[in-house]
Structure 1
Amino acid sequence: MCKVISIANQKGGVAKTTTAVNLGIGLARKGNKVLLVDTDPQGSLTASLGYVEPDEIPVTLANILTAVINEEEIDMAAGILHHEENIDIMPGNIELSALEVTMGNVMSRELILKDYIDMMRERYDYILIDCMPSLGMMTINALVASDSVLIPVQAAYLPVKGLQQLIKTIMMVKKRLNRKLKIQGILLTMVDYRTNYAKDISSKVHETYGSRIVVFQNTIPMSVKAAETSAEGISIYAHCPRSKVAEAYRNLTEEVLENEK
């Protein structure tokens, strides 16, 4: 039974892509077949996995979704890239920006990505969708296609404040477009527990949301090592397996798997 998880937050720089990469590869290391889908026109996920020029990739998510819109037959292997750490990637690039504009005129436009994801479910145990930093049409498509949403939030005042709008959007999608959608949990990222500020923010998240939304027990520490992995095109497990951030993502993977039981 495939589980589709969107990793979403309209705020940029909260470790969405880092979480998608390391949770995805963490799940693969546990024996799962995993597909990562890059819905960001910046192609951050694609670049982070070693494809440093996403705009030069011949077949990407934009081509696949265009085929869905035009009701063309789709080869399910088309566009899929294979990473050395045993995951598959559906790359994204700048063409998604133009596609998002086009989608505004398409009937049932919120269901376009779902049509593709539903075709791929039988091939994978987990599909992780890395969302763009906005609440636009592509993010709505990701939420409609998903079973759950994982929300990375930087342990700082403004990112936490922006949570309210995101949760409101998720609830709207759940009510109108995807009844089964649930919030997998809020993940605190870039946490520096040496400061009282980070501790205060963490307490505020638990206090405000903890009674109705899961707040992951595991948090992701502030780390230069995590940023370095993007340049290397590999996960934190391959880059620095004994680091605190590698341990944090291992623990997060275990927590996600435990929540499925």
Structure 2
Amino acid sequence: MTGDTPFVLAVANQKGGVAKTTTVASLGAALVELGARVLVVDLDPQGCLTFSLGHNPDRIERSVHDVLLGDHAIGDVLLETEDGVTVLPATLDLAGAEALLLMRAGREYALKRALADVADRFDVVIIDCPPSLGVLTLNGLTAADAVAIPLQCETLAHRGVGQLLKTVRDVQAITNPELTMLGAIATLYDARTTHSRDILSDVADRYDLAVLSPPIPRTVRFAEANAAGRTVLAGRKNKGATAYRELAQSIKAHVSDGAPLATWASE
């Protein structure tokens, strides 16, 4: 990665069950393997990203909640992980931050301001936005250079995409005019069926949205890795880890050298 400031990617979809957290953790670990210094930000009060990287949210004293409200400096809250990524953790306290932030001026910029304090420590920041379009997601989008939308390759995958894209346009118009759309990341992909391919074609055509390549295949390894508090890259070789490594290489080349992103439509 190049430049004096990190590349900040928000991963957002208000629909649950789309492998959003898995994508953040796996991309982060894959970019670490490529030599990048990576920070992942957990903006979900459920703390799934925090847990999947080996930290129990119930045992964490300081979290992103304290950072957003200005109670602690971000550098005092960051945690290291076995996969090499640094995490800004979340706990259930974050659920209350949304109401408190709503009463503050400039609430959409709280995360952006915090990240500026550690900009020299990281090459990439990946933000795990919550499954909603509230002020926490707005913080993620306002702080980001680009946004990626994970989509599961199942029926009704497109539900909510239009609303999310409208939110992105609103953010571009009001709080972050530099925000760009990286594309959709296809998850739970089954190459053995035409169903997955049909869904990707429909989403790409319906929303004029690039689908990044490769699609991420469905594999039980993701659930096993999350339960162990590691990413899927930490285990023995599997197709899920391979796909995320390829995707990370494509994103790194795009950000560092301006190379075009590999897209599913071009295959």
TM-score, L = length of structure 1: 0.93
Shift of 1:75: 4.0
Q: How does 1:187-206 map to 2 (within 5 A)?
A: 187-206=185-204
Q: Is the 8 A contact 2:53 2:82 kept in 1?
A: no
Shift of 1:66: 1.6
Q: Distance in 1 between matches of 2:74 and 2:218?
A: 38
Q: Distance in 2 between matches of 1:170 and 1:189?
A: 21
Partner of 2:130: 132
Q: Distance in 2 between matches of 1:76 and 1:63?
A: 8
Partner of 1:84: 82
Question: 2:235 aligned with 1:239, yes or no?
Answer: yes
Q: Distance in 1 between matches of 2:158 and 2:238?
A: 26
Q: Distance in 1 between matches of 2:73 and 2:105?
A: 23
The runs of at least 4 aligned residues of structure 1 exceeding 6 Å deviation read none
- Secondary structure of 2:190's aligned partner: coil
Partner of 1:39: 43
Q: Distance in 1 between matches of 2:73 and 2:216?
A: 38
Deviation sequence 1:102-122 (CA, Å, 0-9, x none): 111111111111110122222
Shift of 1:224: 0.7
- Secondary structure of 1:159's aligned partner: coil
Shift of 1:235: 1.4
Partner of 2:26: 22
Aligned to 2:64, which of 55, 61, 65? 61
Q: How does 1:1-261 map to 2 (within 5 A)?
A: 1=3, 2-51=6-55, 53-67=56-70, 75-210=73-208, 213-240=209-236, 242-260=237-255, 261=257
- Secondary structure of 1:174's aligned partner: helix
Shift of 1:258: 2.1
Q: Is the 8 A contact 2:67 2:74 kept in 1?
A: no
* Structural RMSD (CA): 1.3
Q: Distance in 1 between matches of 2:104 and 2:168?
A: 22
Deviation sequence 1:193-228 (CA, Å, 0-9, x none): 222221210221232234xx4320210011111111
Q: Is the 8 A contact 2:30 2:245 kept in 1?
A: yes
- Secondary structure of 2:75's aligned partner: coil
Shift of 1:76: 4.4
Q: Distance in 2 between matches of 1:120 and 1:146?
A: 15
Q: Is the 8 A contact 2:10 2:146 kept in 1?
A: yes
Amino acid at match of 1:246: A
The alpha-carbon distance between structure 1 residues 155 and 238, as it changes in their structure 2 partners (threshold 3 A), is same
Q: Is the 8 A contact 2:7 2:124 kept in 1?
A: yes
TM-score, L = length of structure 2: 0.91
